[in-house]
Amino acid sequence: MVENSPLPLPERAIYDFVLFLSSQFGFKLYLVRPFIPESWLNSLGLTYWPQKYWTVALPVYPLITIVISCVLLFGINTMSTSSRNSIHTVTDNCAKNQLQKKYQEATPALKITLFVK
Amino acid sequence: MRCGRPSGGKPVMEDEQSFSDISGGRLALQRRYYSPSCREFCLSCPRLSLRSLTAVTCTVWLAAYGLFSLCENSMILSAAIFITLLGLLGYLHFVKIDQETLLIIDSLGIQMTSSYASGKESTTFIEMGKVKDIVINEAIYMQKVIYYLCILLKDPVEPHGISQVVPVFQSAKPRLDCLIEVYRSCQEILAQQKATSTNP
């Protein structure tokens, strides 16, 4: 039985290196489209491709989505923080249910720690 | 309902201490013990500083001058002057709180007074029958976690429930050491009140 651990293993090093090489190669292949002139690509026979505009435009969409989602997440968190005069800073639905619960044992199962200054 | 100060009779015990608020400004806490069952706590906030006033005025006027150099319309400059004056008056009358007072009377209730820089005073009174407890609560406020004193009100429907949380000293925002002093004094009075209410 092999344990799951995050230690570096030889297999993982091989996977990582293959992934690194393929990502570098894929990036250089992607860079062919904007930098090589149309005439050279046409002479090779590669004619039916999208406009060069899209090689810059398509990656911009996910990048802007990431930036806006950072701002949006911060905004959603700030809006859902309860204000100082809200009852939710003191109690919530789970605390209210404790009143009806019947205790089977004599001492409660929670540990109460007191910090005395 | 405004509670008056006792006149004549025993002298009022006064005590003044200096504390700091959550952003480092200096607060002065004045404690007055009128009687064993009546105490008053008065927190004075730091005054409006000349530095911040000049900074805001300069930014508004520089922005107006920038707009004027773009539009060549001199109404912008006079509008900026009016906006600055009206903004300052509005800020002093509606936003800037000079002093916050908490008055506890054992048999009557708790009164909170905020006096603004323009002289306006706003008062809230909570009768003692509604007060469940005074606690120091911890909450997230503007990307900070702060301690603040709050009054818990009883729930008429549920005997052990809390209907409302009323924070006290909301604009002075003192630190924990000041809150502990006020909390201990208030708990002495509330303990007296509970003892007298259970033994009629």
pLDDT digits (tens, 9 = 90+) for B42-86: 999 998 999 999 999 999 999 999 999 999 888 999 999 999 999
Q: Model pTM greater than 0.80?
A: no
Q: Which residues contact B107 (CB under 8 A, 6 or more apart)?
A: B37, B128, B193
Q: In this complex, how many residue pairs, one in chain A and one in chain B, have their CB atoms less than 8 Å apart?
A: 33
User: What is the per-residue pLDDT for A32?
Assistant: 87
Instruction: State the Cα–Cα distance between residues A49 and A47, nearest whole angstrom.
Output: 6
Banded pLDDT at B7 (limits 50, 70, 90): low
User: What is the per-residue pLDDT for B3?
Assistant: 47
Q: Which residue has the higher pLDDT, B3 or B100?
A: B100
Phi, psi dihedral angles at B11 (to 5 degrees): -70, 150
User: What is the per-residue pLDDT for A51?
Assistant: 85
3-state helix, strand, coil in chain A (%, to 5): 60, 0, 40
User: What is the per-residue pLDDT for B110?
Assistant: 96
The interface residues of chain B toward chain A in range 155-194, judged by CB-CB distance below 8 A, are 158, 160-167, 170, 180
- Environment class of A60 (CB within 10 Å of its CB; exposed 0-12, middle 13-18, buried 19+): exposed
Q: Do A82 and B167 touch (CB under 8 A)?
A: no
Torsion of CA B40, B45, B46, B47, to 10 degrees: -100
The string of pLDDT tens digits covering residues A16-70 is 999 999 999 999 999 988 898 888 888 888 888 888 889 999 999 999 999 999 9
3-state secondary structure of B134: strand
User: What is the per-residue pLDDT for B166?
Assistant: 95
Is a pLDDT exceeding 60 seen at residue A97? yes
Taking residues B138-142, what's their average pLDDT? 92
User: What is the per-residue pLDDT for B55?
Assistant: 96
Domain limits, chain B? 13-48+96-198, 50-94
Taking residues B153-161, what's their average pLDDT? 88
Element (H, E) at B152: strand B144-154
User: What is the per-residue pLDDT for B30?
Assistant: 95
User: What is the per-residue pLDDT for A100?
Assistant: 58
Taking residues A75-80, what's their average pLDDT? 94
The alpha helices in B17-49, defined as continuous H runs, are none
Please indicate if any CB of chain B lies within 8 Å of the CB of A117. yes
Angle (CA) B108 B110 B111, round 5°: 115
Q: Do B167 and A90 touch (CB under 8 A)?
A: no
Residues B141-151: b if buried by 16+ CB within 10 A, e if exposed: beeeebbbbbb
Banded pLDDT at B186 (limits 50, 70, 90): very high
User: What is the per-residue pLDDT for A6?
Assistant: 86
Q: What percent of chain A has pLDDT over 90?
A: 45
The interface residues of chain A toward chain B in range 57-96, judged by CB-CB distance below 8 A, are 81-82, 84-87, 89-91, 96
Is a pLDDT exceeding 80 seen at residue A98? no
3-state secondary structure of B80: helix
Please indicate if any CB of chain A lies within 8 Å of the CB of B140. yes
For an interface test with B, give the residue of A85, A97, A117 to mutate (most B CBs within 10 A): A85
3-state secondary structure of B200: coil
Phi, psi dihedral angles at A72 (to 5 degrees): -65, -40
ipTM score over 0.85, yes or no: no
Banded pLDDT at B1 (limits 50, 70, 90): very low
